[in-house]
Structure 1
Amino acid sequence: MRMTRALGKRLPIFEAAVAVFSEKGFARATMEEIAKRAGIAKGTIYYNYRSKKALFLSLIEEGIERLETAVKREIARKEDILGRLEALIGAQLSFFEEHRDYCKILLSEVWGLGNRWEKQVERLRSGYISIIKELLQKGQAEGVIRKNLEVDTAATALFGAVAVAALNAFVFETRYRYDSILQTLKDLLLGGIREPAGTVAAPES
């Protein structure tokens, strides 16, 4: 996973950590192996991070921040709500294709074990998923998203559907058609939440 330049000398540590956590999971990964993968002394890692958990949490925070930045950049290019939702789906899918190991870590270690990483799941909910919720709420106000849609559930489901589809295609499959996956997700997710043609409600005043 390519991280921000602001990480500076910590970049090799992060890249090695992503690879090791993805391969072995948090419980089985060791700081020794991460140091070896990064080509540095173990003490260098402990100089920057007091524990394996601190390194892992820093990695997750960095990844979520990068995901949010990528999505916000893409949706800012669209004016209408449905266009922004399509851009969001595309940006998330593209991010997970580029950062496959991070996708695996996020779903298997963080999302899949919410009790252990409760604060990180909440960070994901209050940050990235709140972006989806805001778009859905605006769509309801404009009459293009169904009024009876339960926004919290829909926002989480949208994130989860894209993430699981990405994990299946980019991590577990050897061959995949990106454009087909993207279009299927758009049809499935947006088709189920938009107001049917001819029944668009008047925008809220």
Structure 2
Amino acid sequence: MVSPPGALAKDKKRAILEATLAILREEGLSGLKMEEVARRAEVGKGTIYLYFRDKKDLLKCLVEERTWAFYREVEGIVRLRAPFFTRLEALLQKRLAWIAEWRGLWAAVAREAADDPLPWLQGLHQHYLDLLEELIQSGQAEGAVRPGLHPRATAHVIAALGCTPQLEVEAYLEHLMEVLRKGVAP
């Protein structure tokens, strides 16, 4: 069977990105060596440079790839035909899983990937905020979210929640959902 044009290249690039993430999880940023990435991805070291200019470019691509994959999943959840709180809980579960995947590496990798990562990361994060705002607006249209809440501000609050759970994930999610369903007023 003949592969479609570009399929082999996509497979190699994906293998390189997956090897990079595995090494980052195991060794941290200081343990990331291009030779080891090549070995784990089962490609020659020079092959890495066919897809990425240097280590910074590889890390930047990894962050973007994983972030956009997460956003595509979030978008699917936001646009489900399901009650607001069902979608919100699914979204927060996905967010906590994504945070667990990065295990504290996100900031270090982002700093290493770009000389000034703030504008780049803010641009990436804006898409997540837009999706959360869409979710809030749909919740308002459904009658599940108070109409007086500002969708953009509420999106920012939800984005800030669930970033660093200090409890076991299930207990954290359960409590977070209770706070969001009932609010904090007596």
Residue 83 in structure 1 maps to residue 86 in structure 2 = yes
Q: CA contact under 8 A between 1:103 and 1:163: conserved in structure 2? A: no
Q: Output aligned runs, 1:148-187, within 5 Å.
A: 149=149, 151-165=151-165, 176=168, 178-187=169-178
Number of residues of Structure 1 aligned to a counterpart in Structure 2: 177
What does the per-residue CA deviation read over 1:80-138, in whole Å, with 9 as the maximum and x for residues that have no partner?
333322222123234445xx2x3533355439x99732343123322122101222234
Letter in 2 for 1:182: L
Q: CA contact under 8 A between 1:70 and 1:95: conserved in structure 2? A: no
| Aligned equivalent of 2:60 | 57
Alpha-carbon offset, residue 72 of structure 1: 2.4
Normalising by the residue count of structure 1, what TM-score does the alignment of the two structures yield? 0.66
Normalising by the residue count of structure 2, what TM-score does the alignment of the two structures yield? 0.72
Alpha-carbon offset, residue 18 of structure 1: 1.0
What does the per-residue CA deviation read over 1:153-195, in whole Å, with 9 as the maximum and x for residues that have no partner?
4323423322322xx67xxxxxx4x5333212212344438xx
In 2, distance between residues paired with 1:163 and 1:150? 21
- C-alpha change, 1:156 and 1:84, in structure 2 (3 Å) is same
| Aligned equivalent of 1:200 | none
| Aligned equivalent of 1:73 | 76
Q: CA contact under 8 A between 1:60 and 1:120: conserved in structure 2? A: no
| Aligned equivalent of 1:132 | 132
| Aligned equivalent of 2:33 | 30
- Unmatched 5+ residue regions in structure 2? 1-7
Alpha-carbon offset, residue 54 of structure 1: 1.2
Letter in 1 for 2:174: Q
- Unmatched 5+ residue regions in structure 1? 170-175, 198-205
Q: Percent identity between the aligned chains? A: 28
In 1, distance between residues paired with 2:82 and 2:34? 46
Letter in 1 for 2:17: F
Q: CA contact under 8 A between 1:129 and 1:159: conserved in structure 2? A: yes
- C-alpha change, 1:114 and 1:47, in structure 2 (3 Å) is closer
Letter in 2 for 1:121: L
In 1, distance between residues paired with 2:95 and 2:17? 21
What does the per-residue CA deviation read over 1:55-93, in whole Å, with 9 as the maximum and x for residues that have no partner?
111111111121112222233334333332222212323
